[in-house]
Amino acid sequence: MSDSSPQALPRPEYPRPLLRRDQWLNLNGTWAFRTDAADRGQTDEWFVSANWPGEGSAEITVPYAPGSQASGVEWAEAANVVWYRRSFDRPDWSAQNVLLNIGACDYTADVYLNGHHVCRHQGGYTPVQCAVGRFLKETDNVLVVRAADTDSWQQPRGKQAGDTRWPIDYDAVIGIWQSVWLEPVQENYGRSIFSRYDVGSRELRVTLTLAKQYQGSLEVEVFLDGVRVTFGRSAFTNRDESTVTLTVDNPQLWTPVNPVLYDIAITVVAENGALLDQITSYTGLREVRCEGGAILLNGEPQYLKGVLDQGYFPSGWYTALDDAALRCDVELTKSMGFNFVRKHQKVEDPRYLYWADKLGLMIWAEMPAGRIFSTQLTQALTGQWPQVVIRDRSHPCIVGWVVFNESWGIWHQGERAEQRHLADALYHATKSLDPTRPVIGNDGWEFSTGDVWAIHSYEQGDGALARCIDGLFDSPQTQVTKIGRPRLGALAGADPRSLPLVLSECGGIGFVGAGKREGLEPDFAYGDIPETEDELLQICQRLLVEIGEIPQLNGFVWTQLTDVQQEVNGLLYFDRRAKIPVKEIARRVENTAIKANRAGVESLGAE
């Protein structure tokens, strides 16, 4: 239960559903806000209360990024340095320490409390956490956050327009874009949870990582519908990590059709019996692996009926206006017949992943890319991507990790060994952090290392898509796309033909109709833009039929869920209105899966 008044706050729900504590203080809401175009705030010590500049200061609603309607801050030209300030009283907490959490702040965050610099965090998609207990006063605490960003593509920025803008890029983000909150802890505390399940042994393993090494015990209780189903205990033997292995009798497995979640209660106890930390979490009992050229969920082959989702929202832009909007996107996706989403070039709000867990939607989680290979980009990716995996690896909805997209930032990995080494190294690093899921090393083309062969092709009509796939199986080094310079299905020496093949981008059919937007850039789509809804539906149907008849495919990802700015190839307008009836989309998507399953069976029979 929050110690704040949630009814008066934006985004009042607890922000981190996998690792919850009962006591917390929501710091969303109205903050003072100041741009710093000259970057003089640190020199002038704006973090000191007496030096905060009144002139030019405005108010912003956190957690919405400046420039979004919900933030209340409009600007003609975005700044590269912004400052936030607010005051609060310390709640009546008896804990030894207090954590300040910011779900995400783009890109470099410096945090000050009562004039003290308490932490610096780099990365626009990973959580900021600072231990601030020793800097707190009982009343009138002043919290200041400086957020700095650049326009450089040497940092992971996804599809935020930088110093160059492609037709598929969108307006950039800076500053706080996920919730801010405080929570009390003791001198040591749980930092991350990793739960995983093995179908064959019926064993659930729950790992808790602490802030520092410890001597004590870890106790884990698992509940289903409020009834305890298993309990286990393990020890921290001067380590910061411990794992409890539990056997679950009569397990109810998590699937998109039946997304059963088990609640978890975690307790850390000191050697003297004192309580160190109490955490609540949840898990889904499910196993994902690739075997025999198929993607298996709980041992059963899965045909991925997917859609590309950029994760932008009306009013809040990078941030959903409320928790209901996140749930709505999951429900809309499922209502259109999809069982799978590729979250594209954005690490999504954990609350979206919670609704995907709860409602049953499979996800590929993807690292936002940079586009200029350099030492800076290498350091950023190798530092930030593991944080993403650690944050989200307990979500049952995530059935794959995507490290790179279309060789962005590693454009010359076919000729430059250091770039290919980076792609291969991050694949292996991901498997070391999470050996339980498939990892897609480079989604789109130029396969080097991975568990799934993920191909992008916007070919359509006259069997062009099927010929493209057949050509790849004749030779993986066949050209995949005619867009841009030639891209091969796999790099020299790599042969992914025994792996599951997913058409992880296709479609891209634009339509504006009654949703004609007002914007400066020309409308963009992958191909001609039909003039009527009937024409749009006919093109979608023809392509989905063609996809369903390609026996080598284990699934597809349609581009895309919604329009975003100039990119008008959504099945929905940006405000989530359907361009063609949802039930018509669902019927055709389901027919694609039926045809694909039939084609796969016939192909096996021919062999």
For 213-264, write each residue's pLDDT tens digit: 999 999 999 999 999 999 999 999 999 999 999 999 999 999 999 999 999 9
| Average pLDDT along the chain | 94
pLDDT of residue 54: 85
What is the model's pLDDT at position 527?
81
Provide the pLDDT for residue 607.
44
Q: Domain 346-572 belongs to what architecture? A: Alpha-Beta Barrel (3.20)
Q: Which residues, at least 6 apart from 566, have a Cβ–Cβ distance to it below 8 Å? A: 167, 517, 519, 521, 522, 523, 524
The Cα–Cα gap between 363 and 581 comes to 24
pLDDT at 601 over 50: no
The boundaries of every CATH 3.20.20.80 domain in the chain are: 346-572
CB-count burial class (<10 Å; 0-12, 13-18, 19+) for 108: middle
Answer yes or no: is pLDDT of 349 > 70.
yes
Backbone angles phi, psi at 318, to 5 degrees: -80, -10
Q: Where are the beta strands (DSSP E) in 420-540?
A: 439-443, 453-456, 479-481, 487-488, 501-507
Which of 399-408, 422-431, 528-537 is predicted least confidently?
528-537
Q: Residue 406 pLDDT more than 50?
A: yes
Which regions of the chain carry the CATH code 2.60.120.260?
A: 6-185
Burial class (CB within 10 angstroms; exposed 0-12, middle 13-18, buried 19+) of 503: buried
How big is the chain by its Cα radius of gyration, in Å? 24
| The predicted structure's pLDDT at residue 199 | 97
Flag whether pLDDT at 495 surpasses 90: yes
Answer yes or no: is pLDDT of 14 > 90: yes
Mean local confidence (pLDDT), 581-601 = 82
Note the pLDDT of residue 184. 97
User: What CA–CA distance (Å, rounded) separates 399 from 500?
Assistant: 14
Give residue 55's pLDDT.
84
Which option is the CATH number for 6-185: 1.10.287.130, 2.60.120.260, 3.30.390.50, 3.40.50.2300?
2.60.120.260
Distance CA 54, CA 65 (A): 21
pTM confidence score: 0.96
What are the tokens at 163?
Answer: 């110093």
